[in-house]
């Protein structure tokens, strides 16, 4: 049986020996060989030599559980020493010392240091002459890597020398890196052990080709001391990560290496960007992001922005991880999720010019984001054409916008001046509009530019007078006397009608059928000449029968003409009524396209169950058939949740390649006999024997019963590519559409979906 925990973690054992004023060390010789093997297991350790086959009678070094056995028996050894009053060799023991060597490190009450003998061995190593000597140098550094900040970055020049089929060329960059590491080891840092019940500080940093981390902790004097340094080189696709993704990778690397520390303490994460927010705020987690979230879920980590440097360890760490000057802050958080983003609407400017014989005028109207109006009217001092007046007022309006320091301005005009500006005919406009951060010119109908046109007309009318008013007051008055107390609204209306020869009629919504109906019934036409011509041309297509207006179709069918309200009701019934399948607006009525699309977009069920387009469409390669009901495609949908009231949970569906006609049925389970019976009753007895049937490689489709049935009716069964649902795309698309129709029509009783299956098929077949 394999022992999953053969030895404690080396870092934890070394940390446990620090912080003590007095230490005692005891060392045994041949520790493994002092333990006897079980006689039954001796033959399992047999090995062959030229002199014969031998086996171990004592524990050999290198067995699966050999490392864990001495530590587990250590307490029993001490008890036996005390029981039998055995003595140990003082030459191999040390008691009450202030420091000592333990597992290759020097431990004392101040912390943990590197054994000087290991530093001397590295300092005496010459420059590597081949790959073997370079690997030997890196092997010496690997044992003391927790003491070296940004070791991966310092060894980065060596990476190219270790690649396969690469000549070993020791250049200046390698020499500088080699000397830099030796210089760093002349004053190595002193690490400390973590204090119980005190939070840890995790610093992470990234570079172009490496990431690093520093685990620290604040002491009682609020000074930060380092616990461990980490670093690694980025390889493969990791080099293409964005800066925030590299920060996330550094965090994941740190928690994997420092898991034994982070599980016992709460941790404050300090970095230039918050990787926790980037990972946790994703709406959809997949791939490595989902894996990272699972790895982070077992730790208590909080992000804290870096404010001040409170220790030499942090200062050294930041110095070893310089930040590139080209690293902009906007690259830190791609697609950062905001709780609230308030985008103010832009200012709007409407302008118009008016040129007359006696003078020219211009009008500008500014509309603020809060819909406040700022009108300006100008009298032009020189005679000019309408186009010149428009250009003058545009420049005047831009000057006002520059003085107001508007951040964004939409400019609207109702003439061909827009085209001239876009073609770059006027250069002055470019210079003035360049002073506004965002200025754009748009064309609007003359009906929407009425206020600016009125202001321009006022200015042009005043141009012929020498004495012009500086202000034109607009007064609000009520001419009709106030009503007498005690009179009702009906009495007031009667008095007004008796006193004034005015005919008052309510303003009702105009019905498009009224003009045609009046012409057909009373032979009356509108006053406007254009409308008279339109009615005369359209009248032969209509007929008025029993007070209802109909339109003759090309097949000489009578189609009832509806009002706007009646048309909306019909669209709603077609979309979500008894025969509706909640199809999109394009599927309803091509002649009422705008209303159909708006109605479909406002449907609540369509909002809940519509497709979420999350990627760009790709070119499709559909299979085609030359005749209806020659080729069919089958697929199984399910198991559904919940089951129906009749305990059905699968839908067996098929679609014709030519006409896209669909058939479907619900079953408790789908077997080979079920598929054969479905083909016989739904295909052959209704539409004849098909030539091809396309299915996937599922067990209900690929079996002896199905093969015998296809051979009997001479049907060619074709299967799609294994593990590629897109190859069976027609059936998958129909299953998706059918499930959506069922979701929209079943209502509150989810178990009645099999009863609605026929209704859903009817809605699918009758839509186009």
What would the two tokens of residue 137 be? 């140098």
What's the pLDDT score for residue 282?
65
What's the pLDDT score for residue 477?
41
pLDDT band, very low/low/confident/very high, at 561 (cuts 50, 70, 90): confident
CB atoms within 10 A of CB 481: 6
DSSP assignments along 436-463, one per residue: SSEEEEEE--GGGGHHHHHHHHHHHHHT
Lowest mean pLDDT among 202-206, 575-579, 750-754: 575-579
Residue 286 has pLDDT above 50, yes or no: yes
Torsion from C-alpha of 261, 265, 268, 273, nearest 10 degrees: 50
Q: What is the CATH number of domain 200-324?
A: 3.30.420.10
Query: Pick the residue with more confidence: 414 or 2?
Result: 414
Contact (Cβ atoms closer than 8 angstroms) between residue 363 and residue 389: no
**Cα dihedral 485, 489, 491, 494 sign:** positive
What's the pLDDT score for residue 735?
83
What's the pLDDT score for residue 502?
40
What's the pLDDT score for residue 370?
79
- The percentage of the chain sitting over the pLDDT mark of 90, rounded to a whole number, equals 1
Highest mean pLDDT among 7-16, 80-89, 637-646: 637-646
Q: List, in order, residues 6 or more apart from 596 with CB less than 8 Å away.
A: 571, 575, 585, 586, 588, 589
Residue 467 has pLDDT above 50, yes or no: no
Q: Which residues pair with 413 in a beta bridge?
A: 443
Residue 130 has pLDDT above 60, yes or no: yes
Residue 460 has pLDDT above 60, yes or no: no
What's the pLDDT score for residue 331?
35
What's the pLDDT score for residue 354?
76
pLDDT band, very low/low/confident/very high, at 285 (cuts 50, 70, 90): low
What's the pLDDT score for residue 583?
60
What would the two tokens of residue 297 be? 């879920």
Q: What is the CATH number of domain 362-462?
A: 3.30.420.10
pLDDT band, very low/low/confident/very high, at 644 (cuts 50, 70, 90): confident
User: Token match 């599922």: residue?
Assistant: 698
Highest mean pLDDT among 433-442, 595-604, 680-689: 680-689
Least Cα distance to 468 among 384, 358, 374 occurs for 358
Residue 422 has pLDDT above 70, yes or no: no
pLDDT band, very low/low/confident/very high, at 475 (cuts 50, 70, 90): very low
Least Cα distance to 356 among 455, 461, 216 occurs for 461
* Numbers of helices and strands, H then E, in the chain: 27, 25
Diameter of the chain measured on Cα atoms = 139
Contact (Cβ atoms closer than 8 angstroms) between residue 356 and residue 189: no
Return the DSSP state at 34.
G
Contact (Cβ atoms closer than 8 angstroms) between residue 716 and residue 692: yes
Query: Pick the residue with more confidence: 191 or 503?
Result: 191
Torsion from C-alpha of 345, 347, 352, 353, nearest 10 degrees: -170
What's the pLDDT score for residue 94?
75
What's the pLDDT score for residue 530?
84
What's the pLDDT score for residue 407?
76
Q: Which helix (H) or strand (E) holds 111?
A: strand 111-114
What would the two tokens of residue 328 be? 């902009």
> How deeply is 570 buried, as exposed, middle or buried, from its count of CB atoms within 10 A (0-12, 13-18, 19+)?
middle
User: Token match 């004053």: residue?
Assistant: 187
Residue 492 has pLDDT above 60, yes or no: no
Return the DSSP state at 581.
-
pLDDT band, very low/low/confident/very high, at 329 (cuts 50, 70, 90): very low
pLDDT band, very low/low/confident/very high, at 496 (cuts 50, 70, 90): very low
What's the pLDDT score for residue 524?
82
pLDDT average, residue stretch 248-253: 86
Highest mean pLDDT among 27-36, 251-260, 563-572: 251-260
What's the pLDDT score for residue 730?
81
Contact (Cβ atoms closer than 8 angstroms) between residue 352 and residue 453: yes
Residue 465 has pLDDT above 60, yes or no: no
What's the pLDDT score for residue 610?
60
- Roughly what angle, to the nearest 10 degrees, separates helices 172-185 and 116-123? 160
Contact (Cβ atoms closer than 8 angstroms) between residue 227 and residue 11: no
Segment 666-718, tens digit of pLDDT: 898 888 999 999 998 888 888 888 888 888 888 888 889 999 999 888 888 88
DSSP assignments along 72-100, one per residue: HTHHHHHHHHHHHT----GGGEEEEESEE
C-alpha distances (whole Å) from 611 to each of 363, 391, 614 are 49, 48, 9
Segment 147-168, tens digit of pLDDT: 888 888 888 888 888 888 888 8
C-alpha distances (whole Å) from 642 to each of 288, 737, 744 are 32, 19, 16
Contact (Cβ atoms closer than 8 angstroms) between residue 377 and residue 361: yes
SS3 616: coil
CB atoms within 10 A of CB 77: 14
Q: List, in order, residues 6 or more apart from 65 with CB less than 8 Å away.
A: 2, 3, 6
Contact (Cβ atoms closer than 8 angstroms) between residue 759 and residue 746: no
pLDDT band, very low/low/confident/very high, at 321 (cuts 50, 70, 90): low
Q: In what order do the strands lie in the sheet with 105-108?
A: 99-102, 105-108, 111-114
Residue 302 has pLDDT above 60, yes or no: yes
**pTM confidence score:** 0.41
Query: Pick the residue with more confidence: 433 or 61?
Result: 61
Lowest mean pLDDT among 214-218, 331-335, 360-364, 618-622: 331-335
Least Cα distance to 351 among 361, 364, 367, 366 occurs for 364
> How deeply is 692 buried, as exposed, middle or buried, from its count of CB atoms within 10 A (0-12, 13-18, 19+)?
middle
Query: Pick the residue with more confidence: 105 or 554?
Result: 105
pLDDT band, very low/low/confident/very high, at 659 (cuts 50, 70, 90): confident
Segment 505-539, tens digit of pLDDT: 444 456 778 888 888 887 788 878 888 888 888 88
Lowest mean pLDDT among 31-35, 61-65, 76-80: 61-65
Query: Pick the residue with more confidence: 620 or 722?
Result: 722
Contact (Cβ atoms closer than 8 angstroms) between residue 710 and residue 693: yes
φ and ψ of 296, to 5 deg: -80, -15
Whole-number Å distance between alpha carbons of 570 and 583: 14
What's the pLDDT score for residue 79?
80
pLDDT band, very low/low/confident/very high, at 90 (cuts 50, 70, 90): low
CATH architecture of 631-766: 2-Layer Sandwich (3.30)
Query: Pick the residue with more confidence: 480 or 282?
Result: 282
What is the average pLDDT value for the chain, to the nearest integer?
A: 74
């Amino acid at each position: 049986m394999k022992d999953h925990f053969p030895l404690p973690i080396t870092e934890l054992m070394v940390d446990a020996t620090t912080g003590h004023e007095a230490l005692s060390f005891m060392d045994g010789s041949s520790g493994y060989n002092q333990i006897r093997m079980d006689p039954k297991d001796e033959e399992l350790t047999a090995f062959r030599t030229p002199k014969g086959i031998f086996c171990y009678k004592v524990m050999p070094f290198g067995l699966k559980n050999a490392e864990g056995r001495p530590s587990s028996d250590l307490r029993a050894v001490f008890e036996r020493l005390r029981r039998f009053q055995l003595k140990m060799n003082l030459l191999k023991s040390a008691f009450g010392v202030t420091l000592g060597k333990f597992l290759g490190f020097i431990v004392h009450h101040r912390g943990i240091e590197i054994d000087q003998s290991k530093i001397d061995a590295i300092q005496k190593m010459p420059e590597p002459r081949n790959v073997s000597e370079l690997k030997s140098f890196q092997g010496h550094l690997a044992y003391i890597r927790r003491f070296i900040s940004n070791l991966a970055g310092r060894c980065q020049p060596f990476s190219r020398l270790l690649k396969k089929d690469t000549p070993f060329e020791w250049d200046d960059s390698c020499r500088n890196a080699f000397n830099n590491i030796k210089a760093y080891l002349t004053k190595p840092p002193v690490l400390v052990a973590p204090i119980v019940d005190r939070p840890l500080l995790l610093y992470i940093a990234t570079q172009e080709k490496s990431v690093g981390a520093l685990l620290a902790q604040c002491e009682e004097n609020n000074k930060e001391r380092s616990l461990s340094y980490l670093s690694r080189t980025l390889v493969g696709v990791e080099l293409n990560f964005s800066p925030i993704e590299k920060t996330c990778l550094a965090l994941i690397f740190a928690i994997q290496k420092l898991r034994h520390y982070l599980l016992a303490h709460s941790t404050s994460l300090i970095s230039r960007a918050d990787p926790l927010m980037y990972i946790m705020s994703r709406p959809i987690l997949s791939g490595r992001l989902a894996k990272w979230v699972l790895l982070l879920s077992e730790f208590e980590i909080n992000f804290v922005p870096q404010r001040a440097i409170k220790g030499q360890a942090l200062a050294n760490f930041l110095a070893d991880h310089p930040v590139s000057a080209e690293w902009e802050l906007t690259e830190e958080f791609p697609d950062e999720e905001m709780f609230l983003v308030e985008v103010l609407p832009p200012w709007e400017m409407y302008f118009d010019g008016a040129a007359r014989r006696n003078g020219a005028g211009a009008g500008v109207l500014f509309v603020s984001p809060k819909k406040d109006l700022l009108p300006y009217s100008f009298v032009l001092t020189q005679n000019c054409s309408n186009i010149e007046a428009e250009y003058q007022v545009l420049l005047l309006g831009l000057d006002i916008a520059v003085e107001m320091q508007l951040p964004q301005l939409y400019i609207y005009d109702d003439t061909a001046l827009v085209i001239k500006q876009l073609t770059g005919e006027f250069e002055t406009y470019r210079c003035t509009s360049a002073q506004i951060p965002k200025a754009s010119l748009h064309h609007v109908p003359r009906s929407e530019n009425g206020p600016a046109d009125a202001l321009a007309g006022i200015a042009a009318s005043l141009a012929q007078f020498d004495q012009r008013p500086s202000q034109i007051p607009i007064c609000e008055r009520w001419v009709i006397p106030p009503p007498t107390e005690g009179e009702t609204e009906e009495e007031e209306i009667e008095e007004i009608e008796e006193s004034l020869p005015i005919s008052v009629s309510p303003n009702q919504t105009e019905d498009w059928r009224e003009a045609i109906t009046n012409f057909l019934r009373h032979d009356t036409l509108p006053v406007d000449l254009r409308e008279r011509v339109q009615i005369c041309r359209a009248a032969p297509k209509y007929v008025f029968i029993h007070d209802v207006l109909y339109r003759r179709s090309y097949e000489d069918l009578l189609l009832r003409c509806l009002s706007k309200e009646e048309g909306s009701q019909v669209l709603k019934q077609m979309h979500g009524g008894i025969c509706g399948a909640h199809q999109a607006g394009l599927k309803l009525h091509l002649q009422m396209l705008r209303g159909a699309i708006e109605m479909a977009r406002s449907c609540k069920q369509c909002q809940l169950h519509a497709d979420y387009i999350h990627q760009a469409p790709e070119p499709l390669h559909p299979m085609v058939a030359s005749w209806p009901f020659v080729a069919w495609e089958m697929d199984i949908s399910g198991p559904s949740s919940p089951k129906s009231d009749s305990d059905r949970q699968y839908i067996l569906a098929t679609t014709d390649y030519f006409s896209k006609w669909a058939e479907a049925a619900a079953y408790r389970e789908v077997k080979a006999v079920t598929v054969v019976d479905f083909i016989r009753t739904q295909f052959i007895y209704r539409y004849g024997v098909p030539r091809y049937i396309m299915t996937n490689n599922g067990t209900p489709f690929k079996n002896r019963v199905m093969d015998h049935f296809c051979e009997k009716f001479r049907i060619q069964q074709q299967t799609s590519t294994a593990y590629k649902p897109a190859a069976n795309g027609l059936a998958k698309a129909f299953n998706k559409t059918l499930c959506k129709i069922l979701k929209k029509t079943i209502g509150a009783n989810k178990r009645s979906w099999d009863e609605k299956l026929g209704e859903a098929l009817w809605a699918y077949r009758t839509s186009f």
